[in-house]
Amino acid sequence: MRSPEDRDAVHALRQDRLFRIYHAPDTPWFVPYDRAHPDDVAPRKPVYVLEGGGGHVLATARLDLRGSHAVVRLVAVAAEAEGRGLGRALMEGLEAEAASLDVRRLCLNAQGAAEGFYRRLGWAPSWWPSHSADPRSIPMTKWVARAEVGERKVRAA
């Protein structure tokens, strides 16, 4: 991520929109949020963000590159930005980025409330290696279209 402020904003968004809801301490699926998780700084696992005015982080996701496939992780959109097309823009940008990196297939673990969103973007329920063991999670995949040279809609943070 570009700055400590970017990093803090991404972590706050993830904690608020993902971990507080899906991995809370009072649930059987509790997972403590790790701000120092090695995957957030690992090579071939870039974190992407969409920003609003003043550089405010409104949406984020991580793309774990694994050769010809990649896993989309930790997709989060700020509550005040929902319904404005930012989730779609983020996912379309990640797809374009993946295509430019010769990724052929994208994978993700959708929560039930997000399954319809991903289906509208062309994702389909499908098993993939290392998908989440969380029974609430729906493994989904999407084949990636070839990218046009220079096409890019999101920036790596």
Domain ranges of the chain: 4-156
Residue 2: its pLDDT value, please?
67
Q: pLDDT (tens digit, 9 = 90+) per residue, 57-107? A: 999 999 999 989 999 999 999 999 999 999 999 999 999 999 999 999 999
Q: Is the pLDDT of residue 135 over 70?
A: yes
For the domain covering 4-156, report its CATH number: 3.40.630.30
Q: Which residues of 113-135 are buried (b: 16+ CB within 10 A; e: fewer)?
A: ebeeebeeeebeeeeeeebeeee
Between CA 62 and CA 85 the distance in angstroms is 18
Residue 24: its pLDDT value, please?
86
Between CA 66 and CA 153 the distance in angstroms is 21
Confidence of residue 131 (pLDDT cuts 50, 70, 90): confident
